[in-house]
Chains A and B, each alone.
Chain A
Amino acid sequence: MEIRNDILDELKELSPVIAGMVKTNVFTVPDGYFHNLDETILSVVKENEFALLNGFSKDIFFEVPTGYFENLPDKILGRIKAQQIENADDELRILSPLLYSIQGENVFEIPHGYFNSFADTVLNKAQSKTAKVVSLHKRTSIFKYAVAAAIAGIMALGVYQFVFKTNNSTGQFAMLDPLIQKGIKMNDKQFDTTLNNLSEDEIASYLEKNGNVNDIAELTSGIDANNLPSQDDYLLDDKTLDNYLNDDNDSKQKDN
């Protein structure tokens, strides 16, 4: 096999070893393979086409309901009239008197007073201390929620460490929040302990006053990517958070 000069030169530069090898074909084919290949392929193509066009009987074998054609004009007229009506109620009455007659009937049951207390139930769960806090170091399939919770959980530490330990502008931030005032005087261990005991209200309050995009970016860049779930995990489906919460609640109940 001849090789073009430019490709050969390129290969010589990359690997004199490979460039120096004689190109030898190690593969074998059955005798006459190429001689008959075109006929073989053509026959396969024709078979496919024949099956497609001739596989079905031309006899009419579909069934129609009894009286279908007799009722068809009225049905079409009804649909045309329904399209001209804007009122949903009237529309339903014209399209289907049967459905119109049973509208409003609910077959599903719910516990007594369910909707009266639903909002409170949800709010309590959201504010509860037993609500899930996603650890940065736990491999979960809810990456985006983990990051959001982690940011909320360590915003104070991040701002403290980023702002105070990397520059000396302590005065401005300390004035904004008593937590930071206290934090300045602590070592990291004391700060961690205090941080763990912070309430959601305190964190939420801090975020309202001081959270900004740059802090979040700085913090997320510090997250150890090795501990994060793979992209495939968090792209699995939208219910990953629900599944995670349900799984963890189940395991907690078992522990109790």
Chain B
Amino acid sequence: MTTQHLDDKELLFQFKNSSTKEKGFTGIIKKYQEKLYWHVRRMVVEHEDANDVLQNMFIKVWNGLENFREDSQLYTWLYRIATNESLTFLEQKKKKSTVSLSDVENGLSNQLKADKNFDANKLEWKLQLAIQQLPEKQRAVFNLRYYDEMPYEEMSRVLETSEGALKASYHHAVKKIENFILNS
């Protein structure tokens, strides 16, 4: 059995035991790194930025996991930290930039267009461009639902927002994306 298939409870047990702390931590990274990476990457676009955010996120996990209350799912907690780190990163990027908010969002679109594989005629690239037009939190809602297939109940714990608000946000996001794709 590979570490990636270890139960969360077992990983937490390993982590909280000083002799196996690193093993448990490594196990958690291996189990969730890809899911969390792609969640972050879809938010921040650039690999280097996603890498920074992801590493910062896991450092916070290292520091905070000891106090993790196991009344919620580990991966919900991890997703919450990853989302908050991504949103914080984007907020800081906005503040550092001397241009307006809409230009920052256009900046992410420009980063997409700068990708060597970018093809404006392909639907999947249009979809990514459309996603980047959404406000950050709405972007997170759409990505979690569309890509990660997250139930609203879990998303509510990740984003600390009511299920009703999330549903409305997702529905709105889908319409906006559709309009963008059809009109582009």
Chain A residues close to B by CB (< 8 Å): 1, 3-4, 7, 11, 14-15, 17-18, 21-30, 33-34, 37-42, 44-45, 48
Contacts and interface: CB of A to CB of B under 8 A. Distances in A.
B181 A18 contact: yes
Contact of A27 (B26, B41, B123): B41
Interface string B93-126: 0000000000000000000000101100001110
A42 B22 contact: yes
A17 B177 CA distance: 10
B124 A21 contact: yes
B174 A41 contact: no
Interface string B24-51: 0110011001100110011000010001
B58 interface: yes
10 contacts: A4-B149, A15-B178, A18-B181, A23-B147, A26-B117, A26-B124, A26-B125, A27-B47, A34-B34, A45-B62
B5 interface: no
A7 B174 contact: no
Contact of A34 (B22, B37, B124, B128): B37
Contacts of B42: 27
Nearest to A8: B149
A3 B47 contact: no
Nearest to B41: A27
B55 to A, nearest CB: 5
Contacts, number: 77
A33 B22 CA distance: 20
Nearest to A45: B62
Contact of A15 (B22, B58, B123, B174): B174
Contacts of B30: 38
B69 interface: no
B59 A44 contact: yes
A41 B37 CA distance: 13
B182 interface: yes
A105 B117 CA distance: 78
A18 B146 CA distance: 10
B117 A28 contact: yes
Nearest to B116: A28
Contacts of A21: 123-124, 127
A30 B41 CA distance: 13
